[in-house]
Amino acid sequence: MTVQRPSPPNRPQSTYRFQVNAGFGFDAAADVVPYLHSLGVSHAYLSPILQAAPGSTHGYDVVDHSRLSEPAGGQAAFDRLAARLADHRMGAVADVVPNHVAVPTPERLNTALWSVLRDGPGSPYADWFDVDWGAGNQPLLMAVLGQRIGKVLADGELSVDLDGDEPVLRYYEHEYPLRPGTENLPMAELVTEQWYRLAHWRVADEELNYRRFFDVDTLAAVRVETREVFEATHELLFQLLHEGKLHGFRIDHPDGLADPRGYLRRLAERTGGAWVVVEKILEGDEELPDDWPCAGTTGYDALLRVGGLFVDPSGAAPLAAYHSELTGEPADFAPVVEQAKREVVEHGQYAEVHRLVELLARICQDDVRLRDHTRRAFHEVVVELLVHFDRYRAYVVPGEQPPAEAVKVLEHVAELARRDLDDEQQETLDLVRDLLLGREAGTASRIDEQARHELIVRFQQTCGPVMAKGVEDTAFYRWFRLSSLNEVGGDPEHFGVSPEEFHAFAARLNDRWPRTMTTLSTHDTKRSEDVRARLAVLSEQPAAWIEAVRSWRSATEEYRGPLLDGRTEYLVWQTLFGTWDDGPIAEDRLQAYLQKAMREAKRHTSWTSPHTEYEESVAAFVSAVLGDADVLDSVRRFAAGQAAYVRGATLGQKLIQLTMPGVPDVYQGSEFVDLSLVDPDNRRPVDYRRRVARLERLDDGADPDGLSDEKLLVTSRALRVRRQHHEAFQGSYTPLPTSSGHAVAFARGGAAITVATRLPVALHRLGGWGDSTVVLPEGSWQDVLTGRSVGSGAARIDELLADLPVALLTRS
């Protein structure tokens, strides 16, 4: 007998992100569903749910699109989760990874890849992967060897295994299929007769001939732009959607696709227009393309604006001066970005740049009017264009007239690149720019149209990795004027957001992308929302912060070894304060974070060339600091002095995010104060029993006990109000007049009002709210956080916020 279950909302009203893996599977998520329902959440938001590589903790390394994650419980456990959600009239959305698949160990786990390794271009899966086989069917590069192939052969590290279903070549835990008929050849001859080339791992950055995810060799890009690959990689997800077990998708890294718009159109067609948001990072004033059929982004644009409300612009100059004094870094972030991107282009993305250059050379060699442009000129032009490209890509579709915005972007980038090129390369620059825009260039018959189209697509697919690896994963770890601003989708030079700027952004979202996702913390954020809120208060009191750091440095001078640089030390102090919670962060967490930060910075050490002595020097300094009771007591006193201000920023940004236009997401566990750092720190287990107990206590009428309780109160009440008044939150967004720049207030659909305190340090210096007011719409209102009632018109803010630095009003 089929059990009839109530239907969830067609579109999410709010989401709650789960990191699903072997340690927290589908059944564990199902156990938490009643709590999520009580919290006010409408949809569970699941990290990738398909079968991933062995040991994966994140799921973005899919190996089999036809199976749900077996470590997470597989199909049966997922069905139990779906049923539990349906029982509570809730739904689920899933993270989808269309851009790449894993190159796993052992390699046979990826059936499509295994077939290509064995049969090369003749494999039925050959079109799945973006491989440059070359004119002579060059082998697929597998850069996995710990030393050069000659040494590997001499040391006998390769062996043939004939005992399984098919003969395989083994290299420690790696295994590769053998081309039929080659299994009995001498080893040196055998390895040259395969459709793959085993090579030293350092060869990859220069000679890799398959497109990958950023610079990760173990994530091979797939050509989801082909109908066959699209259907095969999405079939199970579509099945779950049509069965009512999924209700929407989050699309990972759409800018890596050959045709993001085409992919989204096909997705909308196959899902009947399901709710879809895209992990699109918007830079500066960039807008999401209007012709993308989706609900919006995953919310980094909102994160930037909400967090910026709590950053004081007046702190920028003094913090910049001290940062430069201590670290030797430039006062401006731009040169740091340029240097980092140049390093990425010339090293980590060398193979991709080489392929672009070869495409340009091919196009021009085939056209007599273009032959006199050289490979060297092409290389220099491509490098400068990629270095100066200030966003993840332009959206030029081969065969179509380029959008005006794409033309504007590429023209601007070309002019920036022009300044760094010699006179003799100027014509080459003009040519490359025109080719990237699909303009007529050379012979009117447009010789080698296929290569021209490939150039357009491949250049755009290279821009994203250069931005991500150059800015997010390098420059953000080198420049720490205020590290809370070094965030995915953020801009460290965008120092503060005024209420007027925020209101304009929110109104634009409500008008154009009302169903977009908003967020403050994700699995990719460099610091959790609460760490950033703590650091934001430093912008209001740079002098006090600088004095504190000077005193801590003086007290720890004997711990500083000769290798410790000011940049890393300053990051230590910011991180120690940002993660302070009745005491310092656990040493193992801090040490692991700093090692990652130092290696990502790639100044003194890196993942590929670790500098052991330098890393040990930093580790010794950190251990000494954490072992010094006097220093920690000084940090404790400073942190205690910020508690009231941190409270205002923590609760203020959370309430605003939960009630502004869009679909708010709560990252797992962040309904409590969560002082997490970059992954994997932010994937630590969440204590849901404690959260359930604290929510029940609040619901029974108890007063909040501490900041975590207050944040849980704000989160649960805001989500419940959204659920109760969902139509209002799909309606208007109206900024409310206030007589103080320290208040942010807005109404949603005439049913709910948000009031939050911003820049509380400066407010304290002014002596508090005084007679400041906020003008409330007509009606009688009640604060769902405190129960306080208030009428319409000018309401005194000091009375409204007497108990909490925020208020959430609904009509009585």
Is the predicted pLDDT of residue 2 greater than 70, yes or no?
A: no
Do 271 and 414 fall within a single domain?
Answer: no
Cis amide leading into 177 (omega within 30): no
Phi-psi region of 779 (alpha: psi -120 to 50; beta: other; left: phi over 0): left
Q: Quick one: 72 and 158 in the same domain?
A: no
The verdict on residue 647 lying in a domain is: no
Whether residue 520 contacts residue 307, with contact meaning beta carbons closer than 8 Å, is answered with yes
Q: What is the pLDDT of residues 569-600, one digit of tens each?
A: 999 999 999 999 999 999 999 999 999 999 99
For the packed helices 300-308 and 629-659, what is the interaxial angle rounded to 10 degrees?
120
The tens digit of pLDDT for each residue in 197-254 reads 999 999 988 888 988 888 888 999 999 999 999 999 999 999 999 999 999 999 999 9
Residue 4 scores a pLDDT above 70: no
pLDDT tens column, 661-683: 999 999 999 999 999 999 999 99
pLDDT at residue 307, as a whole number: 97
Structure tokens at 125: 């899966």
Helices (H) and strands (E) in the chain, counts: 28, 26
Same domain, 29 and 71: yes
Instruction: Examine the domain organization and report whether 94 and 242 are in the same domain.
Output: yes
Average pLDDT estimate for 609-620:
97
Q: Decide if 762 is inside a domain.
A: no
Closest CA to 376 of 364, 368, 367, 388: 364
Core vs surface per residue 158-177: b (16+ CB within 10 A) or e: beeeeeeeebbbebeebbbb
At 42, the amino acid letter reads: S
Cis peptide before 664 (omega within 30 of 0): no
Residues 6+ apart with CB under 8 A from 632: 583, 584, 625, 626
The pair of structure tokens assigned to 704 is 């909040």
Residue 679 lies inside a defined structural domain of this protein: no
Cα–Cα distance measured from residue 82 to residue 244, given in angstroms and rounded to the nearest whole number:
8
Question: Is there a contact between 24 and 39 (Cβ–Cβ < 8 Å)?
Answer: no
Kindly tell me if the per-residue pLDDT of 162 is higher than 70.
Answer: yes
Residue 479 resides in a domain: no
In 3-state terms, what secondary structure has residue 739?
A: coil
Same domain, 90 and 143: no
Provide the angle, in degrees to the nearest 10, between the axes of the packed helices 566-578 and 529-536.
Answer: 110
pLDDT value of position 558: 97
Write the DSSP string, 251-320: ES-GGGSS-HHHHHHHHHHHHTS-EEEE--PPPTT----TT--SSEE-SHHHHHHHHHTTS-GGGHHHHH
Does 80 fall in a domain?
A: yes
Cα(534)–Cα(615) distance, rounded to whole angstroms?
27
Q: Determine the distance from the C-alpha atom of residue 712 to the mean position of all C-alpha atoms in its chain, rounded to a whole number.
A: 25
pLDDT in tens, 729-765: 999 999 999 999 999 999 999 999 999 999 999 999 9
What is the tens place of the pLDDT at every residue in 290-313?
999 999 999 999 999 999 999 999
Binned at pLDDT 50, 70 and 90, residue 367 comes out as: confident
C-beta separation of 517 from 298 below 8 A? yes
Is residue 342 within 8 Å of residue 384, measured between CB atoms? no
* Residue with token string 């139990």: 80
Domain interval for residue 410: 335-472
Residue 135's pLDDT is what? 64
**Beta-carbon count within 10 A of 128 CB:** 23
Domain boundary among 455, 472, 489: 472
What pLDDT, on the 0 to 100 scale, is given for residue 6?
Answer: 46
Q: Output the domain CATH number for residue 161.
A: 3.30.1590.10
Structure tokens at 533: 């809120």
pLDDT at residue 445 in the model: 56
From 472, 491, 516, the end of a domain falls on: 472
Nearest to 645 by CA among 535, 745, 743, 550: 535
Domain final residue pick, 189, 221, 253: 221
In terms of domains, do 374 and 287 share one?
no
Q: Do 147 and 41 share a structural domain?
A: no
pLDDT-wise least confident of 46-55, 205-214, 222-231, 609-618: 205-214
- Cα angle value 330/335/338 (rounded, 5°): 150
In a domain, 559, yes or no: no
Instruction: Give Cα 455 distance to the centre of its chain.
Output: 27
Assess whether 215 and 228 both reside in one domain: no
Q: Cβ distance 796 to 772 under 8 Å?
A: yes
> Is 37 part of a structural domain of the chain?
yes
C-beta separation of 311 from 485 below 8 A? yes
* Mean pLDDT for all residues in the chain: 95
Cβ contact 50:69 at 8 Å: yes
- What pLDDT, in 10s, does the model give residues 97-122? 999 999 999 999 999 999 999 999 99
- Residues 59, 95: contact at Cβ < 8 Å? yes
**Structure token pair of residue 359:** 């495409």
User: Does the residue 401 lie in any domain?
Assistant: yes
Total of domains in the chain: 3
Same-domain status, 347 and 451: yes
Rounded to whole angstroms, the Cα distance separating 515 from 249 reads 13
Are residues 266 and 289 located together in one domain of the fold?
yes
Match 């109404």 to its residue by tokens. Answer: 747
Structure tokens at 592: 């692991």
Distance CA 243, CA 266 (A): 19
Give the per-residue pLDDT at 368.
86
Task: State mean pLDDT over 22-27.
Answer: 97
Alpha helix stretches (DSSP H) within 310-367: 316-327, 334-343, 350-365
Percent of all residues in the chain with a pLDDT value above 90, rounded to a whole number? 92
Return the amino acid letter for 225.
Answer: E
Considering the domain architecture, whether residues 389 and 461 belong to the same structural domain is answered as yes
151 and 89 within one domain: no
Q: Which CATH number goes with the domain that contains 245?
A: 3.20.20.80
